[in-house]
A and B are shown apart, each in its own frame.
Chain A
Amino acid sequence: MTPSKTLLVVGGTSDIGRATALHYAQAGWRVQLAARNEEEACRNADDVRARTGTEVTVHRLDVLDTAAFGSFADSLSPLPDTVVCVVGELGDQVLGQSDLSHASLVLRTNFEGPALLLGFFAERFLVRGYGTIVGVSSVAGDRGRGSNYLYGAAKAGFTAFLSGLRNRLAPKDLRVVTVKPGFVRTQMTAGMKLPPVLTAEPDEVGQAIFTAAEKNGRDVIYVRPIWRPVMMVIGSIPERFFKRLRL
């Protein structure tokens, strides 16, 4: 079987990135994993290759190093059919309140880097005439909360960016998918107490991404459907009450 399509995962060392790569590979896709830490990405590449027999390559990329985007994209052979960006960094809200460089890192890692990179690929896809862009954003971007508004604000920006990009590319038949996973049991949330009903396994996120991007054509997904009403309720609380809540 010659796999016809290629997936690029940006954030190839993350649990969601690994699960996404595996779902695509099981469907016969070739996989490109991009990450800052190549050695860790190779661990995932070997794993995906061993499990599926598909071709997996590893590429070094730091999403904050915008100057390198061009040579990075040139090094990909072929230019992927779908790019999924799962890059994210929860950061430390309290630290970020006083340490501006940390705050800046959280904002840039969750918004600037992923947005600029996907925007960059959008231009390449436009030239080529096809391509699908998937951004993993967060329910934290739906409404700012005292406990993580740095992360939330960056994700809100990312969500808005994806929305705008989708609006612009829709007439050209290029798809943009926004994924809001909700809580996920990953390295990022290790040690947190998470409500089981609202918490997805990385595997569910990978499955949901594959289904939305390649099968059912949905634009904005919550991985666990329960998040949609939950966020609707949170979104509808009047600000004068909301501001008093400890969230």
Chain B
Amino acid sequence: MTELTGWGRYPRHRSEALRPASPKALPLLMASRTGLVARGNGRAYGDAAIGERVTLLATGLDRIQAFDPATGRVSVEAGVLLSDLLNVVVPHGFFLPVVPGTKFVTIGGMIASDVHGKNHHRDGGFGDHVEKLTLALPDGSTVACSREENPELLAATIGGMGLTGTILDATFRLRSIETGWMRQTTTVARNLDDAIRALQETSNATYSVAWVDCLARGAALGRSLIFAAEHATLRDLDALRPDAEPYPASKLGRLAVPLDLPSFTLNRLSVSAFNEFYFRAGAVKSGYPFLVHWDPYFFPLDGIGNWNRIYGRRGFLQYQCVVPTAQARSALGSILERVSKHGSASFLAVLKQLGPGHGNLSFPLEGFTLTLDLPVSDEAFPLLDELDRLVVEARGRLYLAKDARQSPATFEAGYPGLPRFRDQRRAIGATGRISSRLSVRLGI
């Protein structure tokens, strides 16, 4: 028995941890155990990747099966890390069609959480780009899923949090890029209305995201920086940084948080980080684009190893909700008001526009998503319960890959596809056999 947590280090649960060495060994384990779920690199924040009794560690399934630099099609075992794959494909002029905010996730985890990136409004979630995958079912059989073969099982598995079976491998197409640099423009939004408008106006940009200053109140509530970006072309590179490598290698972070910091450091770190961004924004405010290396652009926190430790031993909660566009201003405004009043809540939040989703348990729906961090404390839970009510009222939902504490009622209200998902689980014999702490807590 091992004590496992998600990236937020809350909650902690004991589970037997098994590490199959090959995709062939994994289905046999599935057939011989119950109450299990697969775990990738453990970057889901809450309890999604902790098995009720058994956790299948997929990190041994780390082989790239095929990569064709002519077509950009790649097949990988599910435990391959995004960071690993990027190191292989970027020098060939390819990038993944969708990446989340950290590169330390497995491809299987990216599918199971149907991760979205800063380009969801244009390109959908990662699951939209998966051509086929192999799924190990609870009885130990394996089944191929694609748009032609078992399409419903494929759709349920995308965003299915590992609850329809264990993904063994997947095939998808990469996006071709001319350089490994990003051409970024930064604009300042004075308040939430401004930020939402700016995100809508920049929705023709491939990537866009807003960093919200949670300390701002009153008329400045929702004050933000909007970062819009494109993959830089060779011409951009020539114009802006002619001496740069076209496909720079991944930047290895030199910083690491070696131990749990007392929680007061959080405030200082966050505030100074935000000030720095404001300063930088000031420098480029007049709209000049500048080049950013792909690694810090997409994965700014990956440069700091174990950054989750800055929240201290009790861990932290990441709260990510999405609300439909029509309700976004009022609902997100109310949320930010409550957060800014609350002493220990995060000083930074991330605001993004999402395009249409595809149902099941996949998170995205057309609207705006807000993400914030809170250290675990006795006051955090009632605050988040209050935010949940606002989200439910606005017909929004919470991201399961981040969740550690929502109630079954909040979950059911947010995911109308749940009954169908339960039916599908029953049909493949997953009910009761494949179960995570999250699925038990939410009654999936």
Q: Which residues B43-76 have CB closer than 8 A to chain A?
A: 60, 63-67, 69, 74
Chain A residue at minimal CB-CB distance from B74: A50
A190 CB–B CB distance under 8 Å? yes
B19 CB–A CB distance under 8 Å? yes
Partner among A40, A50, A51 whose Cβ is within 8 Å of the Cβ of B22: A40
What residues of chain B lie closer than 8 Å to A39, measured between beta carbons?
24
Cβ of B183 to closest chain A Cβ, rounded Å: 29
Distance, CA A187 to CA B61, complexed state (A): 12
Contact yes or no, B22 A43, CB < 8 A: yes
Chain A 204-229 per-residue mask, 1 if CB under 8 angstroms from chain B, else 0: 00000000000000000000000000
What residues of chain A lie closer than 8 Å to B22, measured between beta carbons?
40, 43
A44 CB–B CB distance under 8 Å? yes
Partner among B21, B24, B60, B64 whose Cβ is within 8 Å of the Cβ of A50: B64
Contact yes or no, A46 B63, CB < 8 A: yes
B88 CB–A CB distance under 8 Å? yes
Distance, CA A47 to CA B84, complexed state (A): 12
What residues of chain B lie closer than 8 Å to A46, measured between beta carbons?
63-66
Partner among A40, A44, A50 whose Cβ is within 8 Å of the Cβ of B66: A50
Contact yes or no, B88 A50, CB < 8 A: yes
Contact yes or no, B19 A44, CB < 8 A: no
Contact yes or no, A47 B69, CB < 8 A: no
A53 CB–B CB distance under 8 Å? yes
What residues of chain A lie closer than 8 Å to B21, measured between beta carbons?
187
Contact yes or no, A51 B69, CB < 8 A: no
Contact yes or no, A51 B19, CB < 8 A: no
Partner among B19, B69, B74 whose Cβ is within 8 Å of the Cβ of A53: B69
Cβ of B399 to closest chain A Cβ, rounded Å: 32
What residues of chain B lie closer than 8 Å to A187, measured between beta carbons?
21, 60
Distance, CA A47 to CA B66, complexed state (A): 7
Chain A residue at minimal CB-CB distance from B19: A190
Chain A 27-48 per-residue mask, 1 if CB under 8 angstroms from chain B, else 0: 0000000000001100110110
Distance, CA A70 to CA B278, complexed state (A): 70
Distance, CA A188 to CA B296, complexed state (A): 36
Chain A residue at minimal CB-CB distance from B80: A47
What residues of chain A lie closer than 8 Å to B63, measured between beta carbons?
43-44, 46-47
Distance, CA A50 to CA B60, complexed state (A): 17
Contact yes or no, B88 A51, CB < 8 A: yes
What residues of chain A lie closer than 8 Å to B19, measured between beta carbons?
190
Distance, CA A44 to CA B60, complexed state (A): 12
Q: How many residues of B contact A (CB 8 A)?
A: 13
What residues of chain B lie closer than 8 Å to A43, measured between beta carbons?
22, 63
Q: Which of A39, A51, A53 has the most CB of B within 10 A?
A: A51
Distance, CA A53 to CA B92, complexed state (A): 11
Distance, CA A39 to CA B22, complexed state (A): 11
Distance, CA A202 to CA B52, complexed state (A): 32
Chain B residue at minimal CB-CB distance from A191: B19
Q: Which residues A66-112 have CB closer than 8 A to chain B?
A: none
Cβ of A36 to closest chain B Cβ, rounded Å: 14
Distance, CA A39 to CA B24, complexed state (A): 10
Cβ of A204 to closest chain B Cβ, rounded Å: 15
Distance, CA A208 to CA B75, complexed state (A): 30
Cβ of B281 to closest chain A Cβ, rounded Å: 39
Partner among B24, B60, B65 whose Cβ is within 8 Å of the Cβ of A47: B65
What residues of chain A lie closer than 8 Å to B67, measured between beta carbons?
50-51
Cβ of B340 to closest chain A Cβ, rounded Å: 43
Distance, CA A192 to CA B66, complexed state (A): 33
Distance, CA A93 to CA B420, complexed state (A): 54
Cβ of A22 to closest chain B Cβ, rounded Å: 11
What residues of chain B lie closer than 8 Å to A190, measured between beta carbons?
19
Cβ of B69 to closest chain A Cβ, rounded Å: 7
Distance, CA A118 to CA B24, complexed state (A): 32
Chain A residue at minimal CB-CB distance from B67: A50
Chain A residue at minimal CB-CB distance from B64: A50
Q: Which residues B313-337 have CB closer than 8 A to chain A?
A: none
Chain B residue at minimal CB-CB distance from A18: B63
What residues of chain A lie closer than 8 Å to B64, measured between beta carbons?
46-47, 50-51
Distance, CA A99 to CA B60, complexed state (A): 32
Distance, CA A46 to CA B63, complexed state (A): 8
Cβ of B349 to closest chain A Cβ, rounded Å: 36
Distance, CA A187 to CA B21, complexed state (A): 8
Distance, CA A53 to CA B66, complexed state (A): 10
Q: Which of A43, A46, A47, A50 has the most CB of B within 10 A?
A: A50
Distance, CA A190 to CA B59, complexed state (A): 13
Chain B residue at minimal CB-CB distance from A45: B63
Distance, CA A46 to CA B64, complexed state (A): 7
What residues of chain B lie closer than 8 Å to A47, measured between beta carbons?
63-65
What residues of chain B lie closer than 8 Å to A50, measured between beta carbons?
64-67, 74, 88
Distance, CA A18 to CA B65, complexed state (A): 14
Chain A residue at minimal CB-CB distance from B76: A50
What residues of chain A lie closer than 8 Å to B60, measured between beta carbons?
187
Cβ of B3 to closest chain A Cβ, rounded Å: 15
Chain B residue at minimal CB-CB distance from A39: B24
Q: Which residues B1-59 have CB closer than 8 A to chain A?
A: 19, 21-22, 24
Chain B residue at minimal CB-CB distance from A43: B63
Measured CB to CB, the residues of A under 8 A from B are 39-40, 43-44, 46-47, 50-51, 53, 187, 190
Name the 8 nearest CB pairs between A and B, nearest first: A47-B63, A50-B64, A50-B67, A51-B88, A46-B65, A47-B64, A43-B63, A50-B66
Measured CB to CB, the residues of B under 8 A from A are 19, 21-22, 24, 60, 63-67, 69, 74, 88
24 contacts between A and B (CB under 8 A): A39-B24, A40-B22, A43-B22, A43-B63, A44-B63, A46-B63, A46-B64, A46-B65, A47-B63, A47-B64, A47-B65, A50-B64, A50-B65, A50-B66, A50-B67, A50-B74, A50-B88, A51-B64, A51-B67, A51-B88, A53-B69, A187-B21, A187-B60, A190-B19
Taking A46-B63, A46-B65, A47-B64 as known contacts, 19 extra A-B pairs with beta carbons closer than 8 A to each other, sorted by chain A number, are A39-B24, A40-B22, A43-B22, A43-B63, A44-B63, A46-B64, A47-B63, A47-B65, A50-B64, A50-B65, A50-B66, A50-B67, A51-B64, A51-B67, A51-B88, A53-B69, A187-B21, A187-B60, A190-B19
